[in-house]
Amino acid sequence: MFVLCRFLCVVKIILTTLCFTFFPTFNKTQNDNQIKTTQPNATKTNSTQRNANQFNPTQRTATQTNKTNQTKTKQIRPFQILQGYGLLFDLSDNATAHKLVTTAYESQKPIAAVCHGPAALAKIKLSDDETFLIADKQVTGFTREEEVAMGTLDAIPYLLEEKMMEGGAVYRKKAAWKELVVVDGLLITGQNPQSAHGVGKALAAMLKKE
């Protein structure tokens, strides 16, 4: 009987020891597993974000682009104005942008614009404050026919082709959505989105001559 009681006590001690050693280890292992399964995901997410910033040049450029009032003319090699209806409302009358374009143009730097982009040039005057930059220049831009096709006549402040002719430009155009690139001196203009590639090629060719 004594031997049996002693044996049971020993078994109890062993079981108690196992409970206090095994279960904490089990819980710790479980927590470690949770950490191990969550940490790689977090690392992957951070890595994905870094890769997106690293390999998305458009996103990186957009976040690093200066505002017009932060830009100096000496930082500009060519001056390229892209398309968009917003140009009819903002850069068209933006004095800071006008000064940048005028200074660049008078410094013999190429000026390129496509689609509604020429709206930014339509009202610009040279440093004499009298002569329009586009006066007597052959140019193009989004046409009346293309505005009609888009159904935007009642939504825009003016027709680009009319505004450019008011500035003394020799306005040229083709049928709606046909590619047209016009080069006159340092000015490169494109009629519509279909002309964007041609404007880029003309600008690149001009830069090679510098």
Q: Is there a contact between 81 and 117 (Cβ–Cβ < 8 Å)?
A: yes
Contacts of 127 (CB under 8 A, 6+ apart): 102, 106
Identify whether residues 150 and 167 lie together within a single domain.
yes
The number of domains in the chain is: 2
Q: Are strands 170-171 and 181-184 parallel, antiparallel or unpaired?
A: unpaired
d(CA 50, CA 45): 9
Q: pLDDT band at residue 161, thresholds of 50, 70 and 90?
A: very high
Identify whether residues 149 and 78 lie together within a single domain.
yes
pLDDT of residue 97: 87
Identify whether residues 100 and 151 lie together within a single domain.
yes
Averaged pLDDT score across all residues of the chain? 77
Six-digit token pair at 68? Answer: 């017009």
**Among 60, 77, 105, residue at a domain's last position:** 60
Average pLDDT over residues 139-167: 96
Identify whether residues 6 and 30 lie together within a single domain.
yes
* This model's pTM is above 0.75: no
Identify whether residues 185 and 115 lie together within a single domain.
yes
Identify whether residues 26 and 86 lie together within a single domain.
no
Domain that holds residue 35: 2-60
d(CA 114, CA 202): 12
Identify whether residues 46 and 125 lie together within a single domain.
no
pLDDT of residue 45: 45
What is the CATH number for 148? 3.40.50.880
pLDDT of residue 71: 57
Note the pLDDT tens digit of each residue in 124-151: 999 999 999 999 999 999 999 999 999 9
Identify whether residues 180 and 90 lie together within a single domain.
yes
3-state helix, strand, coil in the chain (%, to 5): 60, 10, 30
pLDDT of residue 111: 95
Identify whether residues 82 and 38 lie together within a single domain.
no
Identify whether residues 94 and 46 lie together within a single domain.
no
d(CA 152, CA 169): 23
Note the pLDDT tens digit of each residue in 31-48: 444 333 334 444 444 544
- Between 59 and 124, the more confident residue is 124
Q: Phi/psi class of residue 185: alpha, beta or left (left: φ > 0; alpha: ψ in -120 to 50)?
A: left
pLDDT over 70 at 62, yes or no: no
Q: List the single range of 90-104, 165-179, 194-208 with lowest mean pLDDT.
A: 90-104
Tell me the backbone φ, ψ of residue 198, rounded to 5 degrees.
-65, -35
Identify whether residues 37 and 100 lie together within a single domain.
no
